[in-house]
A and B are shown apart, each in its own frame.
Chain A
């Protein structure tokens, strides 16, 4: 596998279900991100992890719970979601270039989530 992978690619869940999205990066990066992409809205940054530590939580509801066990893996745990949470969830990674030029974020293909 190369780049950034995400599983599953498609997920349909009810409002009472609990599910998890998985992201894995094979680029040797140490920063990972979750974004939400909804129709007709800009991409919204949800969470940022740097060296496994959460450095950003962009006012995301608690029904979304991220987990970063190591610098290569990132999870998004979902519970009691609402229909308006239906969207494409994108994972990205970058190499922390502290003090240097801004680092490019590399994106996975996304998980298309539908909440019924």
Chain B
């Protein structure tokens, strides 16, 4: 069975500071990993995904994540936080290759940006 653990349900960073949101996964097969963002009163939007190509994945809005197999981690980072980054972030893992992937989501991390 696959699972995702997001450390820290709430993270606060100052505007301009580094953003680091942690995600650790458990999967019995090579995983496919995703980060989604949810702004208030909106659905989930894909930030980036890892599908066994490059281990450093670049996404939208300046975010990136690095797949580290030895640490079973897929942490999300952004060098400089912006006020518009305030949202909830979800890490997800999928264990299928093609077809209807079954995503297993973490509980989410709410990111607050301090002016």
Q: Mask for A43-74, Cβ within 8 A of B = 1, else 0?
A: 10100101000011000000000000000000
With A43-B103, A97-B99, A99-B98 given, name 18 new contacts (CB 8 A): A6-B43, A41-B107, A42-B104, A42-B105, A42-B107, A90-B43, A94-B101, A96-B100, A98-B98, A98-B99, A101-B97, A101-B98, A102-B49, A105-B101, A105-B103, A107-B36, A107-B43, A109-B43
Also in contact, A40 and B107, with CB within 8 A (given A94-B100, A97-B98, A98-B99): yes
Contacts of A100 in B (CB 8 A): 98
**How many positions in chain B have a CB within 8 Å of any CB in the partner chain?**
29
Is the Cβ of A102 less than 8 Å from the Cβ of B102? no
- What band does the interface of chain A fall in when counting residues whose beta carbon is under 8 Å from B? 20 to 34
Cα-based distance from A56 to B104 in the complex (angstroms): 14
Chain A, range 61-116, C-beta contacts under 8 Å to B: 90, 92, 94, 96-110
User: Is A102 a contact partner of B43 (Cβ separation < 8 A)?
Assistant: no
B12 at the binding interface (Cβ < 8 Å): no
- Interface: B44 (CB within 8 A): yes
**Chain B positions 54-97 with a Cβ under 8 Å from a chain A Cβ:** 90, 92, 94, 96-97
Closest to B33 in A: A102
Q: Which residue of B lies closest to A90 (CB)?
A: B43
Residues of A whose CB lies within 8 Å of any CB of B are: 4, 6, 31, 33, 40-43, 45, 48, 50, 55-56, 90, 92, 94, 96-110
Asked if A43 and B105 sit within 8 Å, CB to CB, the answer is yes
What B residues does A106 contact at CB under 8 A?
A: 46
For residue A43, give the distance in angstroms from its CB to the closest CB of chain B: 4
